[in-house]
Amino acid sequence: MHNYQIYINGQWRDSASGNSFDSLNPYTGESWASIPQCNAADVEAAVDAANTAFESEAWRGLTATARGKMVKRFGQVLLDNAEKLAAIEVRDNGKLYSEVLNQCRYMTEWFEYFGGLADKVEGTVPPIDKPKVLNYTRYEPLGVCACITPWNSPLLLLVWKLAPALAAGNTVVIKPSEYTSASTLELAKLSELAGFPPGVINVVTGYSSEVGEPLVSHKKVRKIAFTGGEEGGRQVNISAASDFKKVTLELGGKSANIVFDDADLDQAVDGAISGIFAASGQTCIAGSRLLLQDTIHDEFLERLVDMSSIAKLGDPMSEDTQIAPIANELQYKKILKYIDIAKAEGAKCVLGGGSATVEGNHEGLFVLPTIFSDVDNSMRIAQEEVFGPVLSVIRFKDEDEAVSIANDIDYGLAAGVWTKSLNRAVNVSERLQAGTVWVNTYRSTSYTSPFGGYKSSGLGRENGQQAIKEYLPVSYTHLRAHETPEHLVCRLLLE
Active-site option among 250, 385, 462, 470: 250
Active-site option among 38, 210, 284, 470: 284
284 flagged as catalytic? yes
- Which amino acid is located at 349 in the chain? C
- Which amino acid is located at 182 in the chain? A
Of 104, 213, 54, the closest CA to residue 148 belongs to 213
User: Which residue(s) pair with 393 in the sheet?
Assistant: 290
250 flagged as catalytic? yes
In SS3 terms, 430-441 reads as HHCCCCEEEECC
How many whole angstroms separate alpha carbon 471 and alpha carbon 167? 9
User: Which residue(s) pair with 396 in the sheet?
Assistant: 293
Q: Are strands 133-139 and 474-480 parallel, antiparallel or unpaired?
A: antiparallel
How many whole angstroms separate alpha carbon 221 and alpha carbon 204? 14
Q: Over the Cα atoms of the chain, what is R_g?
A: 24
Catalytic sites, residue numbers: 250, 284
